Amino acid sequence: MRAWALRVWFGAGMAFLLAPILVVVATSFSAGSVVAFPPPGWSLRWWAAAVGRTDFLVSLGLTLLLGVAVTAAGLALGVPAALAIVRGRFPGRRLLGVAALSPLFVPNVVLGFAALPIVAALGLLGSLWAVGAVYVVLVFPVIVRSLVGTLAALDPGVEDAARVFGASPARAFASVTLPRVARGMAAAAIFAFVVVLDEAVVIAFIGGTGTVTFPQRLFASIAENYDPVASVFATGMVVATAVLMLVLDRLAGFDRLE
Amino acid sequence: MNGRVFGGSPVFAAASLPVLLLFGACVAWLLVLSVFHPSVYSVYVAGLTGENYARVFTSRIYQTALLRSVRLALVSTAVTLAVGYPMAFHICRGAGRMRKVWIALVAAVLMVTFVVKIYAWQLLLERSGAVDVALRALRLTNGPTRLIGTETGVLTGLVYASLPYTILVLVGGIEKIPQTLEHAAACTGAGPGRVFWTVTAPLSMPAVVTAGLFAFALSVAAFVVPALLGAGQVPMAGLVIQRVSVGLGTAGGDWPLAAALSAVLLAASALFSLLLTAAFARRRWRLA
């Protein structure tokens, strides 16, 4: 392909990727009373209206809380698991590596339905704890995959050197290895957090009626009618994502994103 | 625990147990449910029956939904690769200093909440939405066209969903190819087209396979896209599983049937992965 044709193709492709996001941002500043693109005029009326929308705000708060809790639990389980996968010298280590990533190969629709009978049998339909537990299954492989890469790239010799000078294994890990994987861990945490912010499928099965997360609220408001306030909150999410991306760049560098 | 290295002991591996047990229990129970009898009163009755699978394969509704899922997933995978490969190639070989910026932008698009992006497509694909207006301006359509509720609309969403993943995976693959190989081919007289087809394209095939697997898996079990862009007119397997399991109106859910549908969907994804990897494994498309 000629260079200019490649350029045009690339430009068109990027426009395809970015257009929907610009549309969401534009409709949030619409002056019209229904969502339309292009908007009939510009105003901040929907941003003003958004402040009073407790349904969206409660869902947003719930999702952020869920995101933090699930990410923390995912790290608490994922960090030791990744260490065992990279450094373990026990039979079944390879199998563990495959098993830990296996939830990635089951689509969310199937996992959501598969969790339904068990969650229902325990009487936990709609419980935040049940949703959180299933979400940990979703983020665990994401965290492990990201950390295994980070840990495998480390030179084990440095930690050995600390051991030679008398540090205990735990001390050598904490003072030598941990600082060097901190960025990788933070990046893994952000990926996990985004998974929770994004999730609208599993929750459709086990969320019951009481627990409405932010993606679900957005989904419902779009599926039923075009609520212009949805554009405002969606724009907020776009801005929040951009901020997270900048943080991620600082932590890991975009070059290392998969 | 005084292991040689910190983290080397099997005790650390135990941290994965809660996750793997919950996950394993879910999937195992799913497979068991798929051979139970459905029941109006108690959702399911324990037993051993093939009737759920028989219904999946003989009923028009479920057959259509499954076949459509596989067909749309195949088409969207092909389109995504065709659109994404030149884009990834441009990022790696033609973008120069902009390379990092483009990668960041694609990654940023990927990270924006999925429902938000599909919401935007709903606005764009509506009757007298931007796409309709553009199509009419270009004289490609005569009257007003509503792409919501059509396979074309759903396909647009599926391609949009997997394109950023595909580009990032392909960029990763093309980056790994040593440019010295391309230079060597060029030095010995190969034109740019020849260099691409004999060196770059074959060496990037492993990344193409990985990207294809991603795109297919995302599309075949899609839920949000057919729900929002299909408007009830384009049922795909994911949607049907949800409807069957939750039940419609006053009728309760049919869990055994939904379980059989899920199992078939899982099998279809696994089969596609196996076929694609097997097809490319025999070729020596790897760096020696």
Computed from CA positions of residues B15, A115, B228, A62, in that sequence, does the dihedral angle turn out positive or negative?
A: negative
User: What span, in angstroms and rounded, lies between the C-alpha atoms of A156 and B116?
Assistant: 43
Conformation bin of residue B145: beta by default, left when phi > 0, alpha when psi is -120 to 50: beta
Distance CA B244, CA B227 (A): 14
A35, A87, A137 member nearest B123 (Cβ): A35
**What is the separation of C-alpha B136 from the centre of its chain, rounded to a whole number of angstroms?**
31
Inter-chain touch B223–A106, beta carbons under 8 Å: no
Cβ atoms of B245 and B253 within 8 Å: the answer is yes
Whether residues A117 and B120 touch (CB distance < 8 A) is answered with no
B109, B111, B129 ranked by CB distance to A37: nearest? B129
DSSP letter for each residue of B198-264: IIIHHHTHHHHHHHHHHHHHHHHT--HHHHHHSTTSS--HHHHHHHHHH-STTSPP-HHHHHHHHHH
pLDDT tens, residue by residue, A74-97: 999 999 999 999 888 888 888 888
Rg (CA), chain B: 23
Alpha carbon of B46: minimum distance to chain A alpha carbons (Å): 14
Identify which of A14-28, A216-230, B138-152 has the greatest average pLDDT. A14-28
Report the C-alpha gap between B79 and B70 in whole angstroms. 14
**Is the per-residue pLDDT at A258 higher than 80?**
no
> How far B283 CA sits from the closest chain A CA (Å)?
25
Length of chain B: 288
Provide mean pLDDT across the span A117-139.
Answer: 90
Would the CB atoms of B238 and A103 count as touching at under 8 Å? no
Please give the pLDDT value at position B251: 54
CA distance linking residue A51 with residue A46, whole number of Å: 9
Cβ separation of A1 and B86 shorter than 8 Å?
yes
Q: Could you say which residues from 161 to 220 on chain A have a Cβ atom under 8 Å away from some Cβ of chain B?
A: 168-170, 172-173, 177, 194, 197-198, 200-201, 204-205, 215, 218-219
Contact B113/A233 with Cβ under 8 angstroms? no
Q: Which residues of A99-120 are buried (b: 16+ CB within 10 A; e: fewer)?
A: bbbebeebbbbbbbbbbbbbbb
Query: What are the tokens at B225?
Result: 């896209």
Cα-based distances in Å from A35 to A14, A78, A238, B124: 24, 42, 18, 11
A250 touches chain B (CB under 8 A): no
**What letter represents residue A187's amino acid?**
A
Residue where the block lists tokens 């690769």: B81
**Distance separating the N- and C-terminal Cα atoms of chain A:** 27
Question: For B227, which of A23, A83, A223 is closest by C-beta distance?
Answer: A223
Non-local CB neighbours of B109 within 8 Å, separated by 6+ positions? A17, A18, A21, B117, B164
Q: Report pLDDT for A253.
A: 62
> Which among A95, A96, A177, A222 is the top mutation candidate for probing chain B, defined by the most B β-carbons within 10 Å of its own β-carbon?
A222
Determine the average pLDDT of the residues in A137-143. Answer: 93
Taking the C-alpha atoms of residue A117 and residue B247, their distance in angstroms, rounded to an integer, is 14
> What mean pLDDT comes out for the span A59-66?
91
The tens-digit pLDDT sequence of chain B (288 residues) is 444 677 777 888 888 899 999 999 999 989 998 888 877 666 777 777 888 888 888 888 888 899 999 999 999 999 999 999 999 999 998 878 888 888 888 888 888 888 888 888 988 888 777 788 888 888 777 777 788 889 999 999 999 999 998 999 899 889 888 888 888 888 888 888 888 888 888 888 888 988 898 899 889 989 889 988 988 888 898 888 888 887 655 456 788 888 999 999 999 888 888 888 887 766 555 443
CB contact under 8 A, B266 and A134: no
Whether A138 has a pLDDT exceeding 80, the answer reads yes
Query: Which residues of B fall within a CB distance of 8 Å from A137?
Result: 19, 22-23, 26
How much is the average pLDDT of A105-109? Answer: 87
Could you tell me the two tokens for B129?
């939405």
Torsions phi, psi for B49 (to 5 deg): -145, 150
| Option in B6, B245, B262 nearest A169 (CB) | B6
Tell me the residue length of chain A: 258
What SS3 state is found at A129?
Answer: helix
- Per-chain mean pLDDT for chain A: 85
- Contact between B253 and A229 under an 8 Å Cβ cutoff? The reply is no
- Residue B169: closest CA among chain A residues belongs to which residue? A258
**Among the ranges A218-227, A233-242, B67-76, B96-105, which has the highest mean pLDDT value?**
B67-76
Q: Quote the pLDDT of residue A166.
A: 85
Beta bridge partners of A42: A30
pTM: 0.85
Cα–Cα distance measured from residue B29 to residue A169, given in angstroms and rounded to the nearest whole number: 41
The widest CA-to-CA distance across chain B, in whole angstroms, is 76
Instruction: Please tell me the least confidently modeled range out of A25-34, A247-256, B74-83, B162-171.
Output: A247-256
Report d(CA A230, CA A222) in Å as an integer: 8
pLDDT at residue B1, rounded to an integer:
40
Tokens representing B180? 């010295």
A149-205 residue pLDDT tens: 888 888 778 888 888 888 888 888 888 888 888 888 888 888 898 889 888 889 888
* pLDDT at residue B80, rounded to an integer: 97
Task: Tell me how far apart the alpha carbons of residues B30 and B260 are, in angstroms, rounded to a whole number.
Answer: 8
Which member of B23, B100, B245 has the closest CB to residue A254?
A: B100
A64 pLDDT tier (thresholds 50, 70, 90): very high
**Would you state the pLDDT for residue B283?**
58
Q: Pull the structure tokens for residue A137.
A: 């299954």
Report the share of chain A in percent with pLDDT over 70: 96
Q: Do B122 and A222 touch (CB under 8 A)?
A: yes
The confidence score (pLDDT) of residue B287 equals 43
